[in-house]
Each structure stands twice: as C-alpha cells, then as structure tokens.
Amino acid sequence: MNPDWQAFLSARGATVRDQAAAEFAAATPATPCALTDLSHLGLIAVGGPEAADFLQGQVSNDVRELSDTHTQLSSHCSPKGRMLANFRLLRIEQSLFMVLPRSQMPALLKRLRMFLLRAKASIDDASDALVCFGIIGDCADAAVAGQFGTLPEADNDMVRVGEATLVRIAGERPRYLFIGPAADASALWQAATEAGAVEAHADLWGLHDIRAGIPTVLPETADAFVPQMANMQHIDGVSFHKGCYTGQEVVARMQYLGKLKRRMYIADVDTDTRPNPGDLLSAPGSNSEQGPGRVIDARASGPGHWEMLVVAEIAAAEGDGLQLGEDGPALQLRAPAYGFGDAA
C-alpha cells in the first residue's frame, strides 16, 4: 500500500493490513453512498514503444480499442483457453495498466515477463505508486464532479484530470473507480465524506461486482474457466476479431463451433459458513468429474445470507437444483442483468 495513503486511512480510524484493503465497518449494503479502499488491488504497468503490440498477443480483448476515454475488461489465458487472470485494462499516457487482485500479480508478472522476449516493452509492479479506491451510490456523481468536472457517461469509460483517473463501473447504482496519486485520493475521499459518503469495507465493492455480474479470477479459480464460462463475452471482455493471442484458438472454437455447457450465474444462499472461491457445488444426478460448478466469489448481504457468482453446468442449473458443497444448502440462481444472449 502507498505509505502516504496508508497514513491517511490510519488517521481516519481504519484497520490497515499489508497487501489488503483498509477495513471500515460503518456501511451496509443499504447505505446510500459509500467509499471503499481498494488497496487489495494491484497495478501492472506495461510501457515502452511496443507495449500495446506485446499485450495484443497476450490478452483476450482488443488493446487497439483502448483510448484516453475508454477502458476494457480482459483476461490472460493458458494455451488451453482457460483464464489464468482477468483484469481491467486502461491506457494512461504512454503506458497500459492492468488492475487486478494483488494475490494474482506474482504469477501474472512472471508469466508476462516469460513472453516478453525481445519486445521493446517493460513490465513493472506499480501497485504502490498509485492509489485505488471506489465510491458507490447516490452521492457519487456530485462527490467526484468537483474534482473531475465532466464525468464518464458509459460503463468502462474514463476521464482524467492531471494524474488522477476516474472509471465508471457497471452496477445498479452509480459507481466509480479512482486511480491516482495519494494526494489526489485523499482530497477526493475527504470531499466525498463531506458530501455524505460513509467509509465502508471493501467487501461492499465486491458485493456490487457480484450484483453487476463482473467476475474476478483468484488463485483458487485460476486455470478453471474459459472466458465464456464466466460471461466475459457479455461484459465486453473478449474480442472475437482481434487475431491471435494465447489460448485464442480454444476461445474462438467455443464461440463458433462449440456448445457452451457452463455459464456464470448470480446465486443466493443461506449459511453460517462463508462460501469461498473455488468451493465445489453439487447437484442430484450430476456425473461430471469436475462437479456441476464452482464458486467464483461470495459476499454477505445480511446475517447468514450470501450473494455469489458461480460457474455452473447449464443442465444442472436448469434441473433439480444446485447445492453448495456436498449435500449443502440450496442455491437460488438468477441471470445477471445483462442476460445471456443467444450466442455462447
């Protein structure tokens, strides 16, 4: 965590742990407007004259579509087409930045550097150089307008003022990701609290990701899902016209020649035990060696009540019902707001 940002949050009464988001406890899912530190997210900076060309051959989305006003979701896949990591990708001046959980960074940094070879590009951990935090809710627009003026209108769009970046994130309520220097972050955080925002635990941001149907690959689920299984094609996370990248043949074959047998759902479950990423699901009559599904992420939205993203067999989801674990509580499934479309 950036030391100046850590000092700022500590002075505001947060519990700060290394490599994790600062912890506040005041807000609930019903809080009208909230701030969440996102220091559990890291930043990989890819720079140099061939940075874009290098990443174009490594990620699932079309890097050429990035601009000063548009970000995108993307992923890096194994040769078998399964996501080893997914992230938000954006351009800041001459560098490209990947925003993803810090727990995923060591493996991704090692893998990207392995492919770098003689490309005129650099790959660096920029996690402590800039600050990430989120603002969610009714006061979000007014709170950030004072610093940024013009706001990003569409999901995944961004604006920049000086060295500070603001990205609009999909969700049922206004939601923004701030990326920038600690001084700018502290000023905006303070302004947002004065506008009525309540300081909240980062789990609230994760809950809104779940409700928006935005998956996050973690070490427990790395190399488990082809992008389409996690609905990445429905949230502009895959390009089917960009050309070759690692795993592209499998991803394209799934889209054009295969039949998608698993997809991602939002699920509700009542249990006193927290579901964890990678937890297996069960279903009556399922014969799959891998089980009928797995948990991607889970967040509490009430005492003993959890909202989750799960990747599940379509047949099992539409059948007699899925359960958490072996003979565990039943899941109530629903499609994300963006739906599934007609294609895989």
Residues 16 and 116 in one domain: yes
Going by C-alpha positions, the residue among 156, 159, 190 that lies closest to residue 175 is: 156
CATH number at residue 274: 2.40.30.110
Residue 13 covered by a domain:
yes
Q: Are residues 101 and 209 in the same domain?
A: yes
Q: Cβ atoms within 10 A of the Cβ of 219, count?
A: 15
Domain boundary among 227, 259, 291: 259
Examine the domain organization and report whether 255 and 272 are in the same domain.
Answer: no
Same domain, 131 and 239: yes
Q: Per the domain annotation, does 343 fall within a domain?
A: no
In this structure, are 9 and 71 located in the same domain?
A: yes
Gyration radius of the chain over CA positions: 20
261 touches 344 (CB < 8 A): no
Nearest Cα neighbor of 132 from 65, 43, 199 is 43
Q: Say how far apart CA 278 and CA 273 lie, in whole Å.
A: 15
**Are residues 245 and 235 part of one domain?**
yes
Task: Write down which residue in 240, 259, 278 finishes a domain.
Answer: 259
Total domains, the chain: 2
- AA letter at 18: D
The reply to whether 214 and 106 lie within a common domain is: yes
Shared-domain flag, residues 132 and 192: yes
Residue 130 lies inside a defined structural domain of this protein: yes
- Residue 270: give the domain boundaries: 261-336
Supply the CATH number for residue 118's domain. Answer: 3.30.1360.120
Distance CA 296, CA 262 (A): 13
- Per-residue pLDDT in tens (0 to 9) along the chain, 344 residues: 889 999 999 999 888 887 788 888 767 888 889 999 999 999 999 999 999 999 999 999 999 999 999 999 999 999 999 999 999 999 998 899 999 999 999 999 999 999 998 889 999 999 999 999 999 998 899 989 989 999 999 999 999 999 999 999 999 999 999 999 999 999 999 999 998 899 999 999 999 999 999 999 999 999 999 999 999 999 999 999 998 999 999 999 888 887 889 999 999 999 999 999 999 999 987 666 678 999 999 999 999 999 999 999 999 998 878 999 988 999 999 999 999 875 44
One domain for residues 63 and 14: yes
1/73 same-domain check = yes
Q: Which residue has the tokens 């979000």?
A: 140
CB contact set of 111 (below 8 Å; sequence gap of 6+): 76, 84
Q: Enter the tokens of residue 95.
A: 């560098």
Q: Which two tokens stand for residue 224?
A: 């488990």
Task: For residues 331 and 286, state if they share a domain.
Answer: yes
* SS3 per residue for the chain: CCHHHHHHHHHCCCECCCCCCCECCCCCCCCCEEEEECCCEEEEEEECCCHHHHHHCCCCCCHHHCECCECEEEEEECCCCCEEEEEEEEEECCEEEEEEEHHHHHHHHHHHHHHHCCCCCEEEECCCCCEEEEEEECCHHHHHHHHHCCCCCCCCEEEEECCEEEEECCCCCCEEEEEECHHHHHHHHHHHHHCCCEEECCHHHHHHHHHHCCCCCCCCCCCCCCHHHHCHHHHCCCCCCCCCCCCHHHHHHHHHCCCCCEEEEEEEEECCCCCCCCCEEECCCCCCCCCCEEEEEEEEEECCEEEEEEEEEHHHHCCCCCEECCCCCECEEECCCCCCCCCC
Residue 316 lies in a domain: yes
Q: What pLDDT score does 289 carry?
A: 67
In this structure, are residues 178 and 134 in contact, taking their beta carbons and an 8 Å threshold?
yes
Residues 183 and 58 in one domain: yes
